[in-house]
Amino acid sequence: MAPIPLQRDTVQRPGTIRAGYAHGPRLASRTSLPGIPLAPSAARRFVRAALAEWTGLGVPAAVGFSDRLADDAVTVTNELVTNAVVHAGTTVDLVLRLEEEGDDEPTAALVLEVTDHHPARPVSGDEPEPGPEPGAAVAGELPDPAEYGRGLQLVATLADSWGITYRTGLKTVWARLPVDDWSAPPSPPDGEALRRGLRAAEILAPAARRTERDDAVWDSRGAPAFLAEASDLLAGQLDEDLVAAIAGQLLVPRLADWCAIWLETEGGGPAAEPRLARVWHSDETGTEPLRTALENTPPKLPAGAGSGPVPVPVPWPAPPADRPAEAGEAGEAGEASSPYPGGRDGAALAFRITAGGRALGTVLVGREGVAQVPEAVASLIEDFVRRLGLAVGAARAYTRQATISRILQRGLLPSKVAEIPGVTSALVYEPSDDGVVGGDFYDIFPCPGDRWCFVLGDVQGSGPEAAVVTGLARPWLRLLSREGFGVGEVLDRLNRLLLDDAMEAAEAAALMVAAAGGQQLHDGTQSRFLSLLYGEVVPLPDGGVRCTVASAGHPLPLLLRPDGSVRPAAEPQVLLGVVEDVAYESQTFGLAPGDTLLCVTDGVTERRSGPLMFDDGDGLARVLAGCAGLPAEATAERIRRAVHEFAEQPPDDDVALLVLHAE
């Protein structure tokens, strides 16, 4: 792996010319992106779309673009843009350029430049000491990843060279990727995908500031396209502050020179003051002064005001007519053009944010140097604010549901699990991050007669219904176990309880919980199925333990011997809560010192990567076989890591596993 260079200036290489200077028009694509979490995704799509466009033009150097080069360029872009968003937090400028070297054997390279507007924030992996002179080679070992992170290591590995350029108010991180795969031209690019990729970056990117705004673009085609794209961006967000941030950057500077968004405090009552959630100015230097002018003066709209525009005074006084213009404040014709509030008069409109008949906040937009906002633009902003209200309402509903889910989750799982003499245990529990309580649960608890019982279960579905069933099943299991029933008898009785009229109370409770959280439920008469792995452990005088288990519609437990052999430790049986006349049977075996028992839920075995599942071809058993000789914690971590690495996307189901290791 190449060492990370630390140069501070762009190295000018002799003999290098930019693509197109000798062979045709210059090939360079550029865009600007706001410093928000959506920026890396938009940057990736922009790079793929630009490369596809160049390939479609038939440029000789672009013929050498391979899938690997495109993937490397997207990966480097993602790392650099993410770094800029996280560590600088400003607007990010992205330039993708094709360079050719005009030697006897022409070569080409892609150059990526990512610029942020916060040069005081060092790049992660950038050491503070002064760098070498421009063009000087840098030798040395790769910095410690624990100290500097892994992102720039990846950039250093994929790029032929990379570096950092500091300019007044700017910091640019660049990377050069050689084009060395001179393969045949690929198939023509997908025009629709290209349009979506370029448009995704364009709609997120603040347009270049201009003195005059062309409002004619919001015709019958421009306005619907803007609203459709804006709806897509707003609808996918589940945090109201992020919704406000994206809304501000969509409004400015396309429709206004500045804007501010206030959100009402949910459940705060009529006396609660709205909070200033977002302020945005077309010039970054004007954002903080604008915030100062607005933070103590939320607009007061008339009680009867609907969703339409309400003209309001600009929130700062117009400059006195006899006040001389300050430096940088006058334009060519003497017209005031200061980028900060107070330098120009203008027009402002306020819009009420509503959803479901409830007021959720206020949007204030303004234009500088005009007497009024054009009627067509005001109408377009009104339509945009309606969509903003729907997005804020959806984000708040999600937040309420997620809060209820977290409270339920904490109450449904044991605060701690018991320690079994002669056995070490390890638990992994990762609920899916979908804002609702998961259906997986676990428990380890002592019972009379020198017995310890363990449980790993999975209720059908998720949300309040599953939570209530879990809240009943876990204490029922503890009660039945402590009454002295055998493993099979415990499942028999639990099955009857799940089919009993007692479940009507569970469904009624679930309906009340859902009403508080706003989640739709299925018909309250629906049966609640439960897969369960239940067992008991009894320590033996000569070492090891005797284990008895039963599986009801659950992935079978796997027994790992010290020699690496793996076998199922139970027989499959029907789910709980399906049919009444079931006699559940248990299997008993010994766990000798060094043996390991692995219990998982279907979030492990059914983890998908395309058409494949993690347990296809006994995949789980193969991974477990490689854990021979490992303690419980190490085994659990290896299984967890294998589950996550099986697919690029995070798991979409709860992941729970229990490891018991006899000592």
Give the β-pairing of 655-662 and 423-430: antiparallel
Contact of 636 with 442, CB cutoff 8 Å: no
Beta-carbon-side half-sphere exposure of residue 77 (alpha carbons within 13 Å): 30
Token pair listed for 238 = 């589940």
Q: What percent of the chain is predicted at pLDDT more than 70?
A: 68
Contact of 544 with 662, CB cutoff 8 Å: yes
DSSP H or E run through 605: helix 602-605
- Residue 195, pLDDT above cutoff 70: no
Task: Share the mean pLDDT of the chain.
Answer: 76
Q: Is 275 exposed, middle or buried (0-12, 13-18, 19+ CB in 10 A)?
A: middle
In eight-state DSSP terms, residue 365 is: E
- Among 22-26, 132-136, 177-181, the least confident range: 132-136
- Residue 449, pLDDT above cutoff 50: yes
Stretch 255-268: mean pLDDT: 86
How far apart are the C-alpha atoms of 72 and 363, rounded to whole Å?
Answer: 41
**Higher-confidence position of 131 and 431:** 431
- Residue 205, pLDDT above cutoff 70: no
Contact of 257 with 368, CB cutoff 8 Å: yes
Question: What predicted TM-score, i.e. pTM, was given to this entire model?
Answer: 0.51
- Residue 503, pLDDT above cutoff 80: no
Q: Is 515 exposed, middle or buried (0-12, 13-18, 19+ CB in 10 A)?
A: exposed
- Among 92-106, 142-156, 255-269, the least confident range: 142-156
Token pair listed for 321 = 């007519």
Stretch 255-264: mean pLDDT: 91
- Angstrom CA distances, 422 to 52, 341, 419, 481, 486, stand at 62, 72, 9, 21, 22
**Higher-confidence position of 389 and 165:** 389
Contact of 347 with 256, CB cutoff 8 Å: no
Question: What integer pLDDT is reported at residue 390 of this predicted model?
Answer: 92
How far apart are the C-alpha atoms of 264 and 274, rounded to whole Å?
Answer: 4
Confidence of residue 431 (pLDDT cuts 50, 70, 90): confident
- Residue 159, pLDDT above cutoff 90: no
Query: Which parts of 459-585 fold into alpha helices (H)?
Result: 464-482, 487-499, 502-517
- Among 342-356, 385-399, 623-637, the least confident range: 342-356
**Where does residue 438 fall: left (phi above 0), alpha (psi -120 to 50 degrees), or beta otherwise?**
beta
Contact of 272 with 283, CB cutoff 8 Å: no
**Higher-confidence position of 49 and 565:** 565
pLDDT tens figures, 568-626: 999 999 999 888 888 999 999 999 999 999 999 999 999 999 899 999 999 999 999 99
How far apart are the C-alpha atoms of 71 and 243, rounded to whole Å?
Answer: 30
How far apart are the C-alpha atoms of 644 and 478, rounded to whole Å?
Answer: 32
Token pair listed for 590 = 């010994």
pLDDT tens figures, 515-550: 544 444 444 444 567 899 999 999 998 889 999 999
Q: What percent of the chain is predicted at pLDDT more than 90?
A: 29
Beta-carbon-side half-sphere exposure of residue 40 (alpha carbons within 13 Å): 15
Contact of 368 with 344, CB cutoff 8 Å: yes
How far apart are the C-alpha atoms of 94 and 91, rounded to whole Å?
Answer: 10
- Angstrom CA distances, 637 to 427, 614, 640, 644, 658, stand at 9, 16, 5, 11, 11
Contact of 364 with 349, CB cutoff 8 Å: yes
Stretch 217-239: mean pLDDT: 78
DSSP H or E run through 535: strand 530-539
- Residue 338, pLDDT above cutoff 90: no
- Among 57-61, 122-126, 628-632, the least confident range: 122-126
Question: What integer pLDDT is reported at residue 106 of this predicted model?
Answer: 57
